[in-house]
Structure 1
Amino acid sequence: MKPGPAGAPPSALLPVAALVAGMVSIQAGASLAKSLFPLVGATGVTALRVGFSALILAAIWRPWRRSATLRDIGAIALYGAALGAMNLLFYLSLRTIPLGIAVAVEFVGPLGLAIAASRRAADFAFIGLAVLGLGLLLPLDGGTALDPAGIALALAAGLCWALYILFGQRAARIDGGLAVSLGMSVAALVTLPFGLVQAGQALLSPAVLALGLAVAVLSSALPYSLEMFALGRLDRQVFSVLMSLEPAVAALCALTLLGERLTALQWLAIGCVVTASAGIAGRSRRHAA
């Protein structure tokens, strides 16, 4: 690889572009999923996304060709249950609150996990900034209120995201391919009953199935592939800080695809969460050793 005129490799922006494209893909998939709510409901969309993702990952990793102990299966089952609950709660929150705000609130899960492992005073300043952002989303002024149930569901999804990270770290030590494919299958088993109860035979409509497959590809298969490409070529700090932009990307995708407009105060709240996440990510990398 030859350096460009300024001394930087000409392909240095390629992994960054891949990561941003992955974030856009995930949030475009979430926007498409939200547009399907009138047809099969939030739980129906969750079942379609997770179910198709499980089929895609099973075809890629072929978990039936791999061996695992009963203890391994237990660890993967916890990982998959957290993954399924995270998706289900997140989509339920989207029924009543905008996508960008739901993603920002959900980010509290991994952010809190990072803080729990930290003992540095500066990190608590970042968590304070995140709390400020969440506070700006609360209807404290008696104005236009966000749905409290939607916020609570997004917070619960964030808690499941933190559990997903903890259980995922354990499961990945067993076998990454086995863990992700079986874990997604467990997630499908968790979400499918809810989808069937709400949507019933509507889930089997050819048009709904086609859109559900598109949601799965946009929200799982494509972005995960792009993220893996970027992760192998970017410094972990750069990767983590860029991933912190996801709430803002979600808000922009929702504005473009769903027409969800946020107030200036809500944009400020998202900015607080993004800044806090980026700050924690940067400091965590510098002190990792």
Structure 2
Amino acid sequence: MYVGAALAVGLFERLLPSAVAVLRLLGAALVLLAWRRPARAAWRGPRFWRATAFGLATALMNIAFYEAIARLPLGTAVAIEFCGPVVVAAVATRRPRDVAALLSAAVGVLLIADVRWSGSPSGVLWALGAATMWAAYIVLGKRVAAAGNGVDDMTVGFAAATVVLSPLLLLGGTGALSALADPVVLLLAVGVGVLSSVIPYVLDQVVLRRLGQARFAVLLALLPATATVVGLFGLAQIPTLAEALGIAAVVAAVALRSRDGDTPEAVGRTGA
């Protein structure tokens, strides 16, 4: 996922972050449509609208995230974005050990936000916006996965969201149009879509069918660590001491989290 994000940062010189996010969605939708070819039933009724809501939440999460990493280091933005899964897990959890895990993650996010607020408040706000959409992604993604046609419905959702958000591709004016005509830009966009959307989101659908959303949300705390490593080696972004401590606190939440999975009944109580 974050190798794809590092590639996306390189596209920000040619296109606005929001346009790169839409291109990522487009690339992912094209690959998924060619692979899955959803049946007609997936394109109508409640199933279609559920998929579209999921697709839009995913797309808005990506747009906010790309706006954040245009202003903040990759690992920092991911750790702040983790507020979303923290809230989802806090709503679903019942055990003291899990509360401790959530508090650890929250402390980590606060440490990072405190470091970055003075330098880039807009970056922090975009990351928090991405966190909100990430929470929606988990909740809606669980519903899509539980319906039994997760990957096909995700394909429909991505296609619908691409159509709705396609005007964002033109926000950069004539410069954006020339960039969109560049085969290298389009090839990179498809690569970003595959690395950052197709592979991880298909795996998410597999995992969400087997885990409760609370456990899934806290396991996502591994992402700030991987994002920091990719940012360090791929973008030469070195975290400050406070940021490193904050990221470590978020990752520590994984070790504190209960090992047993959520029961179907517990997942039902969360509204998933």
Q: TM-score interval w.r.t. the shorter chain?
A: 0.7 to 0.9
1:185 and 2:159 aligned: yes
Alpha-carbon RMSD across the aligned residues, in angstroms, is 3.0
Whole-angstrom distance in 1 between the partners of 2:217 and 2:21:
26
Residues matched between the structures, number:
259
Give the CA deviation at 1:66: 4.0
Work out which of the residue numbers 94, 98, 104 in structure 1 matches 2:79.
104
Alignment of 1:48-127 (within 5 A): 48-67=23-42, 69-127=44-102
Whole-angstrom distance in 2 between the partners of 1:190 and 1:273:
34
Name the structure 1 match of 2:270.
none
Change (3 A) 1:150 1:64: same
CA contact (8 A) 1:85 1:187 kept: no
1:265 and 2:222 aligned: no
Work out which of the residue numbers 109, 124, 127 in structure 2 matches 1:134.
109
Q: Please state whether the residue corresponding to 2:15 is helix, strand or coil.
A: helix
CA contact (8 A) 2:2 2:230 kept: yes
- 239-248 vs 160-169, which moves further: 239-248
Q: Please state whether the residue corresponding to 1:96 is helix, strand or coil.
A: coil
Work out which of the residue numbers 246, 261, 268 in structure 2 matches 1:285.
261
CA contact (8 A) 1:48 1:216 kept: yes
Alignment of 1:151-166 (within 5 A): 151-166=124-139
Give the CA deviation at 1:55: 0.6
Whole-angstrom distance in 1 between the partners of 2:76 and 2:223:
11
TM-score (norm 2): 0.83
Alignment of 1:230-245 (within 5 A): 243-245=220-222
Q: Deviations over 1:53-83 (max 9, x none)?
A: 0011111111244455422222112111111
Give the CA deviation at 1:89: 0.6
CA contact (8 A) 2:88 2:217 kept: no
The AA in structure 2 aligned to 1:152 is: L
Work out which of the residue numbers 28, 36, 40 in structure 1 matches 2:15.
40
CA contact (8 A) 1:137 1:146 kept: no
Q: Deviations over 1:159-187 (max 9, x none)?
A: 11111121222223162233111111123
Change (3 A) 1:118 1:67: closer
Give the CA deviation at 1:239: 8.1
Q: Any gaps of 5 or more consecutive residues in structure 1?
A: 1-25
Name the structure 2 match of 1:147.
120
Change (3 A) 1:156 1:238: closer
CA contact (8 A) 1:57 1:181 kept: yes
Q: Please state whether the residue corresponding to 2:16 is helix, strand or coil.
A: helix
Whole-angstrom distance in 1 between the partners of 2:241 and 2:103:
20
Work out which of the residue numbers 192, 215, 220 in structure 1 matches 2:197.
220
Aligned identity (percent) is 36
TM-score (norm 1): 0.79
Give the CA deviation at 1:201: 3.7
CA contact (8 A) 2:80 2:113 kept: no
